[in-house]
Structure 1
């Protein structure tokens, strides 16, 4: 990693007073590796030297490597003119630093509900007192946020120490994942051939580094993809990481079924939804169904052709949209 790596706790001291309006500040990008109740976890933080109590807390999709979101996080921090810190947390088991072995099948495997608990544990242990949090979910990260909101009062004993301001759901996979076009395609693969893919990942992991770099460059050929995304893809080429990514994806298709309309209605004014126009993980028919069920919901349908995996080619545009929503 090219960015600075520091102790996690050292970055969590800030003035509890609201910073108000400020001039644009130079971004400081920090990569942290911290222990969340026995689970090594990577946290990407973009902040100014003058810190803020406002935290944009990004929960990624799957795969959940923070480096995929580095360009997006830096753009968002810049658009917000340093008024918010931007944090991106990894999913448990999705970062190469979480595993010491390249042997297929070695290491702990974390399912979907483990990921929800992992985020609750991190918030409880590491989010500073008096923080004001804005949740941003991408893909399955949106479903994790809904589960966090439903369990927050029982899982965090002193909820008065933090403030959940609002939540933004980007390309949300929160219902009928197995019935989506991509779900129908991937279900047989995830159900029957996970171990074969993990074995391929093992062979890829023992290739010389220059050959892995060439394969990743070939995969992204003719695409203007940020270097951080290429580096994150290189980190994926590890069987223990692939095993966790695939197992979580398998569980997503099993677990994410009916939309929790009652829960969404409880948080109606504090959640903003953003659906893709041509998204095979959450088709626009899901958007229309949601708006019909809850006519007063804050939901938009993309008109700019942004893809589900927006971090690959649309980080700047998505960051600009999100910053405008936050400021308004």
Structure 2
């Protein structure tokens, strides 16, 4: 393989030319988690989301009867923070990595804008850390990592439990009485699901779980059910007994989590800038051999509602 055939000026120009695409690359890099959630592009700062509550119903005909009960709005705030990074990189090393990837894909190098490919590679690397932080991130103004940038779903859950807004008495919290094993995982997840509200059980939902819980469930199911006629595959996508309404979603970003979340996809919201004016991608040269990759990007997560009809949290057994 030859030496680097692009200059710092090529990278700088491509950063301007492809800035919009580059700014959403970290989100694309976290796709394995975010594809199970709902995006709110063009978000920055505090974004207020609301869900309507209150009853309305028919009664026997009465021309003088008026329903004066109020309609409530459960407001929740999505905080989308601006994150930044200045990363020194060796353009030749980045180019070699991209070059090898393109050869593997069978693409002709001469047909590829190498400056663009190098920048896309660097931007996608930000997405890997973002993917790991969707649940575990905890906002720390003095922090330096992705996990310090915003409050992830687990951190929000902990705050709501502390505040008493997610609780067993409110019917949106469930406490597991035992740790997950290959002998009890099926029963534990089914009991958790059946303890959720009728509204959740009657609509499509996703159960966000750690990978080790999914492994335990799969093994337990195979041992318990075996080769009965309807057990046609080893890997299970939907929870047994949910009528294929509850999709099991094992996530790397759930590693080490203390919680399992059951919710419709629309209730799990993430906000990102999608190219807002404050967001930037640039390449600068301040050293003989290294370049600076500079990025500022918005991101944040929130539940649209924590009502039991929209969210059910399982607290894992210590």
Q: What is the TM-score with the length of structure 2 in the denominator? A: 0.27
Structure richer in helix, relative to its length:
1
Who wins on radius of gyration, i.e. which is larger?
A: 2
* Larger relative contact order, structure 1 or 2 (CA cutoff 8 Å, min sep 6): 2
Structure richer in strand, relative to its length:
2
Q: What is the TM-score with the length of structure 1 in the denominator? A: 0.26
